[in-house]
Structure 1
Amino acid sequence: MRFCDLTEKEVINICDCKCLGNVHDLDIDECDGRIRALIVPGPGKWFGCFCREFELFIPWCKIVRIGPDIILVDIDEKEAKHKV
């Protein structure tokens, strides 16, 4: 699977069935090259576009399933938030 394939999939939290958005970036371990987390941008302040306050870091171990259209994750959204 390529990175561009991941960016086209919606990330859904199975805890509350909420759509978290699409994958924006990856956090990769520099030593072994493994993906540590998916990064999903938080909502924007103005019209949902600009000045994002936070990003969601979703650890790879919290991914339940990667399907053809969606990525299912099991995560506490409050713990996943990181300031930009």
Structure 2
Amino acid sequence: MVRISEFQIKDVVNISDGKKLGNIGDIDINLTTGKIEAIVIGKSGRMLGLFSKDEDIVIPWRNILKIGEDVILVRYSTADNTTSDLVND
């Protein structure tokens, strides 16, 4: 079992370019199923998460490729600020 606090300290890395996107600031949970739908990475420089919500990176759970000890590997397209649909469910 992984605690949310442990999940939040892992670096999130985009496999498309090898760049670190940041750390998980929030998660989106489907209250009906209890499953995680997406992770949310807040942009740095925000003040207490109050400003620039539109700059958050939202990565659907299906685009998370691997959760390791120190890193979470994801597929993310920075060109249009949306996740790639190349990963099949």
Q: Which residue of 1 aligns with 2:82?
A: 79
Q: By how many angstroms is 1:76 displaced?
A: 1.2
2:57 and 2:76 map into 1 onto residues whose CA distance is 10
Q: Normalising to structure 2: TM-score of the pair? A: 0.78
Write out per-residue CA displacement over residues 44-79 of structure 1, whole angstroms, 9 at most, x where no aligned residue: 2xxxx4343510111000001000000000111311
Structure with higher strand content: 1
- The two structures, once aligned, show a CA RMSD in angstroms of 1.4
Q: Which residue of 2 aligns with 1:64?
A: 65
Unpaired segments ≥5 residues, structure 1: none
Counterpart code for 2:82: E
Unpaired segments ≥5 residues, structure 2: 84-89
2:77 and 2:23 map into 1 onto residues whose CA distance is 17
2:39 and 2:71 map into 1 onto residues whose CA distance is 13
2:62 and 2:77 map into 1 onto residues whose CA distance is 13
Q: Give runs of ≥4 in structure 1 deviating > 6 Å.
A: none
Query: Number of residues paired by the alignment?
Result: 76
Q: Which residue of 2 aligns with 1:34?
A: 35
